[in-house]
Amino acid sequence: MPTDQRPDLVDWLSLSLTPGVGPVRGRQLLDHFGTPGAALRAAPDAWRALGLAEEAVTAVVEGRLAGVVARQMAALANSGGRAITLADDEYPVLLRAIHDAPLVLFIKGDWKTAVAKPCIAVVGSRTCSTYGRNAAAKLARDLAACGITIVSGLARGIDTVAHEAALEVQGHTIAVLGTGLDDVYPREHAKLADRITTAGALVTEFPFQKPPTPKNFPYRNRIIAGLCLGVLVVEAAERSGSLITAQLALEQGRDVFAVPGNITSSKSVGTNRLIQDGAKLVMDWRDVVEEFSYELRHRLRRPDRPETPTQQALPLELTADERTLLALVGFDRPVHVDTLIVQSGLGQPRALAALLNLTLSGTLCELPGKYYVKVLR
């Protein structure tokens, strides 16, 4: 066991892993008995009097949890992670305030630094458009550059863009998992998860060896919202997990922000509807930050970057070929390499060389299928 773990962590894990004892029932037991240890040593009839299910009473009485907890403690020791409880100072104040706050959080990475900063969630469609990708990247970069921790769910699409954008500016980001610490989902994000632990943290309420089942993710979403001052939805269909996160944020008394989208796109129906229902319309980082308290606003840095795509600073000393190609590519409409070769009149070798340079400099982004768009900064 890491030396900084609570000596009563076994009791906390035992209570949190008891069948029929979730976050709400767990807090009820803590309020009544004072500590997990006292709750676990209480008479069975005392649990029954509080309305606990018989499966919970039986599991405690028969000592069924000892082996399960021992395996969790061993896995935790081998993971490089830690566990914190509701009683720990490291447990975020905002998350502790929600009615169904997890009794135990499993964490890995630079948790103290990440949660010491104001947190904003950036969430959206897993199958985001180029517009959504660009908007999420710009907003997450600028907010992270202000000194705000970007929180998301490590999913494909907008979540991935948000985490990567924060890392790009040496900011902090937290990924809330829908699995245990030992199982990154989706699997292709294992390297991203490792990068996040160096400039932020992974966090989950799920124990080790918990697979990514669909029912896990709404529970994960309440933690995403609960950690944050507000939730920024970049793209969302009419029914999506991002809207669930936004609704949970409203129920928790947090701010909800939304990026407006194309009214003809199904990916924008959810965000546009949020704005209709009172979410704050966001066009740049200031629209989020101005909702913070005066004291908090004045503790933040200003992002050292242009405010609109038209003000974007281009790399110095672009060649004539690079400028020709750049004029043919926009921020939201991907252009195929063959189209660029034809329209530029440069021919294949010159066009491909210039596209490679523009991509390496971060001015253009190559999408699957050999399509190119400008990078919004």
Tally DSSP H helices, then E strands, for the chain: 19, 12
Assign 3-class secondary structure to 110-140.
CHHHHHHCCEEEEECCCCCCHHHHHHHHHHH
- Whether the pLDDT of residue 295 is over 60: the answer is yes
- What is the β-pairing status of strands 82-85 and 371-374? unpaired
- Whether the pLDDT of residue 2 is over 60: the answer is no
Q: Say whether domain 309-374 belongs to CATH 1.10.10.10.
A: yes
Query: What residues does CATH 1.10.10.10 cover in the chain?
Result: 309-374
For residue 79, the model assigns a pLDDT of 92
| Per-residue pLDDT tens over the stretch 312-348 | 445 557 888 888 888 888 777 788 989 999 888 888 8
Query: Mean per-residue pLDDT for 238-259?
Result: 92
Lowest model confidence (mean pLDDT) among 3-17, 34-48, 84-98, 180-194 = 3-17
Lowest model confidence (mean pLDDT) among 58-62, 99-103, 352-356 = 58-62
Half-sphere exposure of 53 (CA within 13 A, CB side): 10
Measuring CA to CA, which residue among 128, 105, 93, 83 is closest to residue 176? 105
Q: Say whether domain 111-297 belongs to CATH 3.40.50.450.
A: yes
Query: What residues does CATH 3.40.50.450 cover in the chain?
Result: 111-297
For residue 307, the model assigns a pLDDT of 43
CA–CA dist 257, 275 (Å, integer): 8
Measuring CA to CA, which residue among 227, 198, 3 is closest to residue 110? 198
User: Confidence band (pLDDT; 50, 70, 90) for 306?
Assistant: very low
Find residue 202's DSSP bridge partners. Answer: 108, 175
- Return the percent helix, strand and coil in the chain, to nearest 5: 45, 15, 40
Measuring CA to CA, which residue among 349, 301, 296, 294 is closest to residue 321? 349
Q: What is the pTM of this model?
A: 0.82
CA–CA dist 118, 94 (Å, integer): 10
For residue 200, the model assigns a pLDDT of 95
